[in-house]
Structure 1
Amino acid sequence: MSSQIILPRIMQVGASVSTELPNILHDLGCKKPLIVTDKVMMKLGYIQGVADHLMSHNIAYDVFDDTVPEPTVTSIKAGVEMVAAGDYDAIVAVGGGSPIDSAKAIAILGKYGGEMRDYKFPRIVNEPGLPIIAIPTTAGTGSEVTRFTIITDETCDEKMLCVGTGFMPIAALIDYNLTLSLPPRTTADTGIDALTHAMEAYVSKKANQYSDSQAIAAMRLIGPNLRAVFHDGCNQQAREAMMLGSTLAGIAFSNASVALVHGMSRPIGAFFHVPHGLSNAMLLPNVTAFSIPAAPERYADCARAIGVASESDSTEQANEKLLEELRALNLELNVPTPEKFGINKDVFFDKIPMMAAQAVASGSPANNPKVPSEAEIAKLYAQLW
């Protein structure tokens, strides 16, 4: 059985590689990009830096900066209209997962039209949209190297998973210098998101030798460095390790798929506006405990790769240490419970049946080592309280 591996055509990794954007555009034959970003990136001066590099090479551009955390059909609408009415030949996505996910949707909808719902899974979108050059500013989502985007339909609070090579950036500039100013909360949430990507890719029923190699490498980078960057954002060595780990984790899950944590995480984000990495963190310990009996050796490998278990530990000992570590990590990184996040208990429990149904419909739980029933997913949601 073979595995199809999908990657960006160009990846540059290292300090200050984001300054190579004009050369990448030239190599791709692109002359007028639309920069897709958010207000925070504008305020922090990242976009001015990108613009200065483009202007120094006489490259015309426009900016769409109205993307929002957890992008929605409405939030991308103006960007889609700009592409449909303009003469852009590329999109430069600058920011965390939300601007990059928004850019992916804009690149397809702006070129082909229709509604975002037309492109949701199980449809596979392999039509090429406008070429995307992704410049991530967080070490977490891995969106710069994935063939996925997630857009919320706010009319029904559904996070729509969209899949296909059409959403894969053509180039990724992975510059850890851009993460040095991230605040601790964002650092923690995106870091646990990357860890979840690597773990779920490794235990996924769709895992393969290639994705395994990327997932293990990612965990070896993320495990020893996540606490370090949370406590000291200026630790360049740890920031560099987290940035590469995040990208490798993105490559792993893009080619193996995520599983139950992500399937359950998306509805929490859609209904209660919990940042994606944070909802992953809330779920990761309990979902891992639920799943270990179906893949104990795989989870033991995760414990060893993260660095909390040794080769001399038995499978059972390694998995005990893994669960201890995930719980300790949430405590140290101040991951709140749903209640402490501010979610109303009655509303949360009222939404559990719908969240469980949406989780199953996403397809991700079917990749889990232990495939849960809708009732089991509902029980796991209840256990979060």
Structure 2
Amino acid sequence: MVVMKDFSLTYGGVKLYFGPKSIKHLLEHVKGYEYAIIVTSRSSAKVSGALNDVVKILNKANVEYEVFDKVTPNPWASQADELAKAIWESGADLVIAIGGGSVIDTAKVSSVMAASGGKAVDYLYKRRKPKYMVPLIAVNITHGTGTEVDRYAVLTVDGTYEKRGIPIRYPNVSFDNPKYLLTLPKNQTLYTSLDAFYHVYEAVTAKTLGSPFVDTVSLETVGLIKTWLPKALNNISNIRARYWLHYASMLAGIAIDASSTHIVHAIEHALSGINPKLPHGCGLGIIGARSAYYIHKAKPKESALLLRKLNPRIKPYTEYAKEAEETIREFQKDLGFEEKLSNYGFSEKDAEEIVRLLFNELKYLWDESPLNLTAYIVKDIIKEGL
């Protein structure tokens, strides 16, 4: 295995620089711009050191800038509206997003709105299509999102529980630098890597969009997570573990861009739409094992292909659905994951609202479900997670 090598690649519409020295390439991509808006959450961009590095490079390139630090986890559409207004009013000709999925997704939508007009909800409900966009650079500082290499963004519609995901745009340039992950807390280290795991598990088991390419990158992703996540949890300063988890997350982003997520992400979006304090990867982990029981029944060959990385006994037959569930449950338990929905205020009475969301506003999120999702199945998955 190559150790900590810097490299670059082009995928979709994005030029990605990867590795511990990758940020040096930012200089060549900001030269010629006049004014940048840097998008962050409240503190992680500062704590990681990424904001300081970006500012130094902007100063060197004589690019003026301002910082928009109002993005929260599970961001609202109104935050994208506010950011788009700031981009427009400042005359910024460049947007730089430093953060995880919440920050980069918000910047994706806002960079389109600032040039194409409209409100975030116009794009979330597909009433408006992207026509123009302000150039966007993404500096990813988690190893779960995949948004630095995919075209999707997720925002929650204000005043509702609707957490909507849409294809909107690729960043023009992205950076994955493992040194910015060394301050990622232990719980977020676990949650974000579980996000990457479920990205590939769903991508491989999608109803129609799976492919040999998706299988290949997904198998590599699971192998890397299995090897390196325990090491990162044991020592969050292990930069080699961070490097390979970052790489796994990037591959997982490509997997869902080429395929799709389905029921695990759909149900989680309903959950964190109701309670935005539920971390996305945590929600996936809570419902993922029981979801795998039903997914394996529907797509046993594809499910077994990935889960054999965790448990060689798994077979590509429907009779192994319970073992698929227990394989994921034990994998997560061994990593120290024992969260429950009840920890976030959920109870059985919330199941009806989750079903309502999934079969109405969020139905499009499980178009690629390999199984015929029913209210009974959703309630069973929720009950197991309480």
With the length of structure 1 as denominator, give the TM-score of the two structures: 0.89
Question: 2:206 maps to what in 1?
Answer: 204
Question: 1:303 maps to what in 2?
Answer: 307
Deviation at 1:230, TM superposition (A): 1.8
SS of aligned partner of 1:224: helix
CA contact (8 A) 1:216 1:302 kept: yes
Question: 1:233 maps to what in 2?
Answer: 236
Deviation at 1:189, TM superposition (A): 0.6
Indicate whether 1:32 and 2:35 are aligned: yes
Q: 1:9 to 1:43 in 2, by over 3 A?
A: closer
CA contact (8 A) 1:309 1:322 kept: no
Deviation at 1:344, TM superposition (A): 4.2
Task: Report matched runs for 1:195-274 at 5 Å.
Answer: 195-205=197-207, 206-273=209-276, 274=278
Alpha-carbon distance between aligned partners in 2 of 1:320 and 1:18, rounded to the nearest angstrom:
45
Alpha-carbon distance between aligned partners in 2 of 1:236 and 1:47, rounded to the nearest angstrom:
19
Deviation per CA, 1:79-129, whole angstroms, max 9, x where unpaired? 111112122222111011111111111111222221212112556845341
Deviation at 1:257, TM superposition (A): 1.1
The count of aligned residue pairs is: 372
Question: 2:358 maps to what in 1?
Answer: 356
SS of aligned partner of 1:144: coil
Q: 1:31 to 1:253 in 2, by over 3 A?
A: same
Question: 1:132 maps to what in 2?
Answer: 136
Question: 2:67 maps to what in 1?
Answer: 63
Question: 1:20 maps to what in 2?
Answer: 25
Question: 1:373 maps to what in 2?
Answer: 374
2:124 equivalent among 106, 120, 125: 120
Moved more, 264-273 or 373-382: 373-382
Deviation at 1:59, TM superposition (A): 2.0
Alpha-carbon distance between aligned partners in 1 of 2:367 and 2:299, rounded to the nearest angstrom:
14
CA contact (8 A) 1:360 1:374 kept: no
Aligned residue identity for 1:383: E
Question: 2:6 maps to what in 1?
Answer: none
CA contact (8 A) 1:34 1:61 kept: yes
Alpha-carbon distance between aligned partners in 1 of 2:372 and 2:275, rounded to the nearest angstrom:
25
Deviation per CA, 1:270-295, whole angstroms, max 9, x where unpaired? 10121111111111101110111111
Alpha-carbon distance between aligned partners in 1 of 2:299 and 2:178, rounded to the nearest angstrom:
34
Alpha-carbon distance between aligned partners in 2 of 1:324 and 1:366, rounded to the nearest angstrom:
26
CA contact (8 A) 1:308 1:321 kept: no
Deviation per CA, 1:358-378, whole angstroms, max 9, x where unpaired? 5752x2322122131344324
Task: Structure 1: give runs of 5+ residues left out of the alignment.
Answer: none
Alpha-carbon distance between aligned partners in 2 of 1:248 and 1:90, rounded to the nearest angstrom:
26
Deviation per CA, 1:319-339, whole angstroms, max 9, x where unpaired? 665433311233233341111
Q: 1:107 to 1:21 in 2, by over 3 A?
A: same
SS of aligned partner of 1:249: helix
Question: 1:382 maps to what in 2?
Answer: 383
Which structure shows the bigger proportion of residues in helix conformation? 1
**CA RMSD between the two structures:** 2.3
Q: 1:58 to 1:173 in 2, by over 3 A?
A: same
Q: 1:381 to 1:343 in 2, by over 3 A?
A: same
Task: Structure 2: give runs of 5+ residues left out of the alignment.
Answer: 1-9
CA contact (8 A) 2:293 2:322 kept: no
Deviation per CA, 1:107-157, whole angstroms, max 9, x where unpaired? 112222212121125568453411211110000011101111111112112
Deviation per CA, 1:39-91, whole angstroms, max 9, x where unpaired? 11354143122101211222222211111111102223321111121222221
